[in-house]
Amino acid sequence: MERIKSGKMINVVRSVVLVMSVLLIGTGVMNQEHTEVLQKAVKICLECIGIG
């Protein structure tokens, strides 16, 4: 009986984490945070090899 309850609880937690991650990723995309992250990554990479 406890295995069934713990299995259901794990599925609920997994579902909540999945929904929250999708919502947060969607919010970041709508705010165009992905372009800012890409620009920072390019700048760091160029500085690392001595060009930027």
The CA angle 1-8-18, to the nearest 5 degrees, is: 165
Number of domains in the chain: 1
Phi and psi of 33, rounded to 5°? Answer: -70, -25
Range of the domain at 14: 2-49
User: pLDDT tens digits, residue range 14-43?
Assistant: 999 999 999 999 999 999 999 999 999 988
User: pLDDT tens digits, residue range 7-18?
Assistant: 889 999 999 999
| 43, 52 contact by CB (below 8 A) | yes
Q: Does residue 46 carry a pLDDT above 90? A: no
Residue 5: per-residue pLDDT: 76
